[in-house]
């Protein structure tokens, strides 16, 4: 009979929140490395306790993998930098991949593309770029300048109905 108890693998809530935030802020390459490490952790845990349910082991191995990368990050930022050579190699790969984070403007561009239906509705209702900027500031807590909104709209004419909005503005 398998042990379904999550209590045997329970982590403190503060640690879980810290690890979740760390994972959330990583780019896709780091997340793939974390999932690769999760697989290694899973088989280590499975060898230790084969009676535990696989779902519980999956969760435990996931947080163990995130914790491994989190500790790499913390050890490198500490004053005492004593790391094993395999950890140094892993950390070097981690720093290279983590430096490829999306910049803020790319995130705003992605946000605008995701909200293209809202932008199109605002354009069709003859709203200015300033009014669109104020809308996102008021209803979505996103500070995006009106000039940046104009740049993104002209960059993706196939997504945003700029021509249709211009025809409606003329008529």
47 and 65, same domain (yes or no): yes
85 and 108, same domain (yes or no): no
Whether 1 maps to a domain, the answer reads no
69 and 131, same domain (yes or no): no
135 and 152, same domain (yes or no): yes
Position 38 confidence tier, pLDDT thresholds 50, 70, 90: very high
Return the pLDDT at 98: 64
120 and 84, same domain (yes or no): no
Q: Which domain holds residue 38?
A: 7-98
Q: What is the pLDDT of residues 90-133, one digit of tens each?
A: 767 776 666 655 556 678 888 999 999 999 999 999 999 999 99
> Which positions ≥6 away from 129 have C-beta within 8 Å?
146, 147, 149, 150, 153
Whether 82 maps to a domain, the answer reads yes
| Run of H or E including 42 | helix 28-48
Whether 110 maps to a domain, the answer reads yes
- What's the pTM value of the predicted model, to 2 decimals? 0.50
Q: Of 42, 77, 98, which residue constitutes the final position of a domain?
A: 98
Return the pLDDT at 72: 80
Kindly report the CA angle at 61 between 57 and 63, in degrees rounded to 5?
125
134 and 152, same domain (yes or no): yes
> Measured between alpha carbons, how far is 65 from 7 in angstroms, rounded to an integer?
19
Highest averaged pLDDT of the listed ranges 25-39, 80-94, 142-156: 142-156
Residue 6, pLDDT above cutoff 80: no
Q: What is the pLDDT of residues 138-158, one digit of tens each?
A: 999 989 999 999 999 988 888
Query: Do 6 and 53 meet the contact criterion of CB atoms below 8 Å apart?
Result: no
> Measured between alpha carbons, how far is 72 from 66 in angstroms, rounded to an integer?
10
Whether 21 maps to a domain, the answer reads yes
93 and 125, same domain (yes or no): no
Position 1 confidence tier, pLDDT thresholds 50, 70, 90: very low
90 and 109, same domain (yes or no): no
Please give the tally of structural domains in the chain.
2
Whether 2 maps to a domain, the answer reads no
> Measured between alpha carbons, how far is 72 from 87 in angstroms, rounded to an integer?
7
> Which positions ≥6 away from 158 have C-beta within 8 Å?
none
């Amino acid at each position: 009979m398998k042990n379904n108890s999550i209590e045997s693998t329970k982590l403190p809530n503060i640690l879980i929140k810290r690890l979740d935030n760390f994972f959330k802020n990583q780019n896709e390459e780091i997340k793939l490395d974390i999932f690769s490490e999760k697989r290694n952790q899973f088989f280590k845990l499975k060898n230790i306790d084969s009676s535990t349910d696989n779902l519980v082991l999956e969760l435990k191995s996931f947080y163990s993998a995130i914790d491994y990368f989190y500790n790499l990050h913390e050890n490198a930022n500490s004053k005492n930098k004593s790391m094993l050579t395999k950890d140094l190699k892993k950390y070097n790969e981690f720093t290279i991949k983590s430096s490829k984070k999306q910049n803020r403007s790319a995130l705003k561009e992605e946000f605008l593309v995701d909200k293209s239906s809202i932008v199109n509705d605002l354009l069709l209702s003859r709203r200015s770029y300033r009014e669109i900027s104020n809308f996102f500031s008021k209803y979505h807590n996103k500070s995006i300048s009106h000039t940046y909104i104009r740049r993104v709209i002209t960059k993706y004419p196939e997504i945003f109905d700029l021509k249709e909005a211009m025809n409606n503005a003329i008529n």
